[in-house]
Structure formats: C-alpha cells, structure tokens
Chain A
C-alpha cells in the first residue's frame, strides 16, 4: 500500500485507470486529453460489394473426395523425398514415376513412359506406372459435378477438378455417368482448382471423353502442368485466369488465391455462387488459403443475397497457420462467425473435425459413406447436396 505522499507506482496507476478505479482522472489532467476510453469501432473496412448477378440453385454431386487411401503412406513418401517443399513431380507417384525412388522422379520420365497411351488407353498407362510408382494402390482423386440453375431456368453443368488415379477416376466417372455427359458435351467447362496431384493428374480421364471441353485454370500452374495439359490430349486452348475474381456467369464467380501450397504448387481457385434468396455458396477443392481468408475476401469484394454466407462444399482448411492463441485454433469456433447454413464437407477437412461439426449441431449435410468414403459425417463419394 503506497503512502499517499509518494509517487504512485506507474503500473498500479495504470491498473487502476484501466479497471475504472480512477475514471475521470485523465479528464482532469490538463494538457493531455485522452478521450478514447472504449474501443471505439471505426467504420468497418470498406466493402466493394461488386454485383456478380444471381442464380436459382446449385447442386453438387461428389464424384470422388477420397484423394488417397492411406495418409500414412502419402506423408511417408513426402517426407522420404525431403518434405513439404519438394516438387510434387519428383515424388515418384503415378503417373509420373520412374522407379528411381522418393524425390528422384520427374515429369519428363513419367510422360515418356505413358505419353503414347493418353488419353485413349488409360488402363494401360496406369498399369505401366503401377509397376514403378511408390504405393501404387494409394491414389484416388477429387472431383465433383456442379449443376447451376440460372434464373431463366436453364441448367449448366461444370466439372471441378479431375482427380488422380486414371483407374479410380474412370470408375467414378462411369458410376456417376460423367463419361456420358462429357461425350455428349453436356458439361460446359472444366475448372482446375490447383495443380496438386489429387486434383489435376487425372486430367486424361476427362480428356478421354471430351478433349475440347473449355478448360479454366489460373496463372499458378508451373511448366510441367502446362505441358501436361497438352500431353493429356487436350485439343483446345485453356483459359488462364489472372485476375483475383472472374465473373463467369450471372451468379457465378471464380475466386483465385495467390498462395504457395505444399510441394511446389501455387495458387488455388474456388467457385462462388450467389443463390437467390439464400446467399453465397462456396464450392472448393481444398481451401488451402484457409476458409477464413476465403470468407474475408468474398465479404470485402462481392455482393450476395441477404448478405449471408449460405453454403459450403469441399475440403475445409481453416488456415495454413496455427493461431498464436490456441483458443481460436478451431475451425468449429472460427466458422461460427460466418454463420453458414448448409455445409457439405469431406476430403481434407478431417474426420475428427467433421465429427465435431456434427456434434456441435452445425448444419452439416451427412452422407452415406459409400465407395470408400470414410464417414457419414462427410458428404461422401456418390452423395449430393443442393443449395437453393
């Protein structure tokens, strides 16, 4: 207890002021006028709210979300090759394997062994690769069919990503009749979200059925990726998105994030839909930049119905970082802020995270855990979800 006649200890004074014990003291302090007592909220960061139109509904069919079947094998291979900064084409996985071991693969060696079979004899190509690849039974792949209904009633089909294993993806395509849709040119475009093995290396499977489908990718693909588009049999001209937001159709935009991703991949795009009377729907491959960045950018840039985030489909990474305050390091908490109304999650979301969502009563649409999808908490292979 300080004697009243001594100078008060600075810290005690501060504590007193902050807790309100000396309210009004500062006001009487003459030359200094400290008026900011509360955290006065300044106007929120300016929102551009660009109008990109509206659509009636969006239906997503999960062709495959099981990108691979053993995470232990996958991570083991990556770490044997040298870790998360190693170029994915050197990992010696099908279809770019050369039998020389982890970290010693190359795009050129791989394509040399299978180029001649693409895209008409995918089975032969994959069988050849299985002889030299690490963990040849591990690849699966990610791909989904997106059907948008426009306000005029017309329906438009798009493919997001083309998976990995030629055999697994062909099987999945046939199961969902994607092969027939592609051959009939029913699917209007293929979007490639990013260059990762489980989203992109299965490109020949789409090419087998429609080698002229309009193809949308972005400027984050490396030279191997650009070469693969040709080697996979594509006969058209891919459209390379450079701008962060591409207005694709009324109520549909493609959002691009320029972020480095593991194993020498750069950038990822996601699809954003503005569904009438419902709100914003995000359809993603992985959300490598983190779902929080996604919502933050959309919130700042776009205008959407009811100013409401309505739906989410895909793999949900919260953030590439651990939060410095572990209390916040929780997708379940973070996502609450945006109040999504309908969620279909799978792939890299994580089984335990999905389970937590369900347990906490989030509006997760559950699946049927068929065709090797791990849990009903995922919107699994063969399952569908509709928004609007």
Chain B
C-alpha cells in the first residue's frame, strides 16, 4: 500500500527547504564569522572575548534571561496551580485570557509597556507616589524594565506548560495528604512541587532559551542603553554594517542557546528516569 517512494516524495520538499534555507544559511553565517583577517581568521571572536564591553553584554543577556525565567516560575506556578485546582466553570475563559497575549505580536505587547514605563506613565507615577523610586524615574532604558516586560511576554508559555502537567498528575496523592491532615502549604511543597520538577524544568528551558534570543522587547524597552546580545547583533549588522562581527556574535548566541538546551535536556531526562 504505502511504499518508500511516495513517502520520500512527500517528505522531500520539507527536507530540501530546511537544508537550503536553514542549514546552508548557518554555514554561511559561520563562514562570515571567521572571515577576518581574510581569507580565514578568528579576529572577530578574539575581539569579542577580549573586550570587557562584550563580555558584560553576554553576562547581562544571561542575567536578564535568568531573571525572566525566575519571574515566570514565581508567577506561573501559583496561577497554573490555581487554574488547575479551582472548581469554577470560568476556567476555560480564564485560560483564554492568560494565553490571549500569545496571539499578539511581541512588538505590540512591548508598546503596552512603553505606555506604562514613560516618565509620566502610570507605573512610574504610582511608584514615585509610594516612594519606591525617585520622582522622574522611568523604566525605559533600564534592565529592570526589560525584565518586567519580557517576563510578561514569556509568562503565558510557562503557564501553558505547567498547567498541562498539573492536569495530568495524580490528584489522589494530594487528596490523601490533605485527608491525613497535611496543610495546603505542605501539600503543595511536599506533594505537588516534587511531581512538577520536570514541568518546571521544561518550562524554564523554553522561557530561558527564548529570552536569550529575544529582540523586539529588549530593543523597544531597553534600546542601546541596555547592553544585550540581540541588540548588539542588530546594531552591528544594520547600523554599523560590520557583518563579520555580527555573524560572530550570532554564532556565540547560537552556541550559548545550544549548550543550555543540551544541559537542560540532560537534566530533564535524568529527572524522568529517576526512580520514584
């Protein structure tokens, strides 16, 4: 019935497109990054790793991605737990509300934060009124602003991941703990959280790797005042036209993203093989 011939024919277009437009461009990216001094050299990488400015840039990118991941865990877990365990018929509606922002472009979502973050914006005014920040403070162009906005952009992804895991874990365990007299706090800590480790790790990997490479939100909220890799790559390429250096920075970002994915993948698979 189904032979190898038709199967190859059906899969071939995808394979050709991915080889031609995904693998080949990455080869050219690598080739461009090692083009100085001509014909082949690694000046771009030497420059990147010898200058404090660029090392700070790499560090700040990881710091932002780490803080965003932390926000997503701290905000995402309580909301996902609440959505998965509350008994109301509004849960589907609440889920739609929490995931709706995913349909809206990150550019548009960052605009919303710009309105709040400007000097006369609602958030800056409220915070100045409560004395948290000095009057005239604004989040635009600060690392804190980027973290707050990017956290909101990434949060729905974490919630989807955690919610789907929370729906599948066995509720008998937590009911048993509660019936035996455990408080809801200790039930959450000792029964639910240990079963959620895999889900939290998977969600964190997703959020972290997307945050490391995020460009629209850091660029609109932080701009060149927040020293992040994605902003640096865009500046080198589209403003300074230093394509070899932009390519080298892109390769470094790529390598960082891949290393994180591999390390995380290993942790996740160890988690799932751990005997209970």
A and B pair up: no
